[in-house]
Structures are given as C-alpha cells and as structure tokens.
C-alpha cells in the first residue's frame, strides 16, 4: 500500500499520524516551505458547536491519543450588538494559534509525526494517482473536489483581520453581531496572548461591499473594539481573504481518493469553524485505509452537522440589527450561561426550529 497526502495542514497531518501509528508510512507533499507557513492567526474551538462533545482537547486525547495544547481556555464570552452587550461567564471552548508560530496547531501535529514532509512540493493529483495506491486530498480548499465535480458550494465568505496589540484577558473572547460592521456575518476579538489579539470581521461575499464600505466597516469595528476594551489598539499584520468557499463534497471517497478537511466540506457554514472537523476527517480517512471502517460511515455525522449549520446560517442572514439587539439582550447573564453550558446540541435544535422558515424563503 502506498499512500500520498497532498497538504500538511490539520487534516493531512492528522491522517499521517494515524497511518504511521498503524504501520503505514505515507508520503506527505506540502507546497509551502514548512508547516504553517502563513500569517499567524488565532482560531477557536467552541463547545456549543461540537456538542455532545464538550471538550475537544480531551476528546482528541482520549479517543485518538492526539494531543493539542491550546493557548487558553475561553472562560468569558462577550457579545456586542448595535445597542446591547452581553457577558457570559462559562467555559465555552479553547483558543489556539495557527500559522507561522512555534505553538501553532500545525506545528504541534508535526511534532507528533515521525515521517519527513516533502516541502516545496508541486505534485499534481494525476501523478499521485499514477504512483500511489491511495491519495488523500487535504489542500485546505475545495479546488480539487471542484475539479472532479465532487463539490457543491453553498456560500463564500470574506475575512478581513489584523493582529492588534494592547492588554487582553487571555480567556475573554468578544463577538460582534452588528450588520453595520459585518453585514450578515460577525466579527470577533480573540486574544493570542496578554498583549496580542486577532480582530476579524467575516461576512458572506453575496453582500458585496465596495472597498470604501469595507474600510468603513473595519474602522467601525476597530473603534468599537477600542471602546469595549477601553484602550487604544495598535494594528499590525493585516490580512484579507476573499472567496473562502464553504460547501460539501458529494462523495467523501472516490475510488481510493479521500477528500479531507476543507476539501471534504469541513467548514461549518454557520460560523465558518472547521478545525475539529478537519482533524476528524484526517483521522477517519486513515482509519478506513487501515481497515477499521468506512470513511463514508465515519463522516456521515459531519455531513448532517453541515446541513444543520447551513440552515442556521441562512436563519442568521435574515436578522437585522433590531433582532441582534434582542438576542444579545437575552444572552446576558444566566440565560446565556445556561445556553452555552447545556449538553444539548443547540445548532441541531436551532436548525430544527428554523428549517420551515428557511425552506419557505
């Protein structure tokens, strides 16, 4: 058996680790010069998105002996709408770092791998098919799934963000639900340390904004962030991503080709989270190759989550600032704490309630 992995990101590395532990040495191709060779950013694991799995760090360790060390738990979540603020004090997830940082998730996974990675690799899928018995497509986007007519795009989003310097509580994440700042989307301030944080706005490309409008929204977000943390935030290292595709592959496996991570459809449409799902698809592809079960069966719950998450996203897009004000007001205090601490999967419950309205639209 000869396995090729295209992409040394979350899903590719997780797959490689599991294959290696089962006696299969894959060949890993990474187009960049080292793992995580891109801008540094903070990302989150939110437990309300992964219920009934409450603690993904513990779950990955106990179920798969895959060890990740977040930079901080999230113990406080603040929501800001146009006129309301809510504070939720509950353990709601974890913050981790991605990209060119020694503690980035991709570097942590690389440390758990014995096999050498082939960097600066530009091997095509077609040549992999000829030379290997199994191919894992883990390039972090849907391009190959699309080329093989195996992907339905549901929406695409833009993300504009920066590292901001100031003084932060490491465990406090702030979220903006305000259409003046992120139309039909959201914005967040996610600390990477006590002196650096990520300030990001994410919104669907369908709400096409001119460059001037985007700059105005960014200025509004920065002002609001400065006001909320009561200090001047110094902006460094800006980034912008457009046309970040969110969708789902039709077949998770075609022949001996496995679609993993974002190439599978790991990004959940509601808030664009996909780290945990990407890691799982990598593990599941390896388990299939090792003969433990079928990739299609393992990934079925992720497909269901994708559809639930998509309905919630469509529901969110109908909300105006008055609705956001109402929601944020309700979230403040005990109601929010109970909602974020419940064992129920609120994405599933929310999509069940919203389904008739979204279908009618």
Ligand X SMILES: Cc1cc2nc3c(=O)[nH]c(=O)nc-3n(C[C@H](O)[C@H](O)[C@H](O)COP(=O)(O)OP(=O)(O)OC[C@H]3O[C@@H](n4cnc5c(N)ncnc54)[C@H](O)[C@@H]3O)c2cc1C
Check residue 36 and report its DSSP letter.
T
d(CA 236, CA 195): 12
Nearest to 158 by CA among 92, 231, 207, 228: 207
Burial of 20 (0-12, 13-18, 19+ CB in 10 A): middle
- Select 84 or 222, whichever has its Cβ closest to ligand X: 222
The nearest distance, CB 51 to ligand X, in angstroms, is 14
The nearest distance, CB 143 to ligand X, in angstroms, is 8
- Select 306 or 324, whichever has its Cβ closest to ligand X: 306
The nearest distance, CB 56 to ligand X, in angstroms, is 9
- Select 121 or 207, whichever has its Cβ closest to ligand X: 121
The distance between the two most distant Cα atoms of the chain, rounded to a whole number of Å, is 60
Interacting residues with ligand X (CB under 6 A): 6-12, 29-32, 41, 43-44, 121, 138-140, 159, 241, 244, 261-262, 266-267, 272-276, 278
- Select 88 or 159, whichever has its Cβ closest to ligand X: 159
Helix, strand, coil percentages, rounded to 5, for the chain: 40, 30, 35
Nearest to 240 by CA among 268, 205, 207: 205
The nearest distance, CB 10 to ligand X, in angstroms, is 4
Q: How far is CA 209 from the centre of its chain?
A: 23
Peptide bond into 245 cis (omega under 30): no
Strand order in the sheet with 257-259: 117-118, 27-29, 3-6, 134-137, 257-259, 253-254
- Select 84 or 308, whichever has its Cβ closest to ligand X: 308
The nearest distance, CB 155 to ligand X, in angstroms, is 14
The nearest distance, CB 329 to ligand X, in angstroms, is 25
Which residue in the shown chain puts its C-beta closest to ligand X? Answer: 9
- Select 143 or 321, whichever has its Cβ closest to ligand X: 143
The nearest distance, CB 200 to ligand X, in angstroms, is 6
- Select 238 or 318, whichever has its Cβ closest to ligand X: 238
Nearest to 306 by CA among 267, 358, 256: 267
CA angle 226, 228, 234 (to 5 degrees): 20
């Amino acid at each position: 058996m000869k396995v090729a992995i295209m992409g040394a990101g979350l899903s590719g590395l997780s797959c490689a680790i599991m294959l290696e532990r089962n006696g299969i040495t894959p060949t890993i191709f990474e187009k960049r010069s080292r793992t995580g060779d891109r801008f540094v950013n903070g990302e989150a694991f939110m437990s309300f998105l992964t219920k009934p799995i409450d603690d993904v760090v513990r779950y990955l360790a106990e179920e798969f002996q895959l060890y990740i060390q977040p930079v901080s738990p999230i113990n406080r979540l603040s929501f800001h709408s146009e006129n309301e603020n809510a504070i939720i004090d509950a353990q709601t997830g974890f913050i981790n770092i991605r990209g060119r940082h020694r503690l980035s998730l991709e570097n942590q996974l690389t440390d758990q791998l014995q096999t050498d990675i082939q960097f600066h690799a530009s091997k095509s899928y077609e040549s992999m098919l000829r030379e290997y018995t199994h191919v894992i497509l883990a390039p972090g986007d849907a391009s190959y799934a699309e080329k093989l007519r195996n992907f339905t795009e549901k929406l695409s989003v833009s993300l504009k963000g920066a590292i901001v310097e100031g003084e932060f509580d490491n465990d406090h994440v702030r979220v903006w639900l305000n259409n003046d700042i992120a139309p039909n989307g959201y914005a967040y301030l996610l600390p990477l340390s006590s002196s650096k944080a990520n300030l990001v706005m994410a919104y669907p490309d369908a709400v096409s904004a001119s460059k001037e409008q985007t700059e105005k929204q960014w200025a509004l977000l920065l002002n609001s962030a400065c006001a909320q943390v009561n200090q001047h935030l110094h902006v460094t290292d800006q980034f912008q991503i457009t046309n970040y595709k969110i969708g789902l592959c039709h077949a998770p496996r075609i022949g001996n080709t496995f679609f993993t991570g974002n190439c599978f459809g790991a990004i959940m449409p509601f808030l664009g989270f996909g780290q945990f799902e990407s890691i799982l698809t990598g593990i599941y592809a390896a388990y299939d190759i090792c003969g433990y079960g079928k990739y299609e069966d393992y990934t079925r719950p992720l497909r269901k989550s994708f559809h639930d998450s998509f309905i919630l996203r469509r529901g969110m897009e109908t909300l105006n600032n008055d609705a956001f004000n109402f929601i944020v007001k309700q979230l403040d205090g005990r109601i929010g704490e109970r909602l974020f601490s419940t064992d129920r999967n609120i994405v599933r419950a929310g999509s069940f309630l919203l389904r008739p309205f979204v279908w009618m639209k």
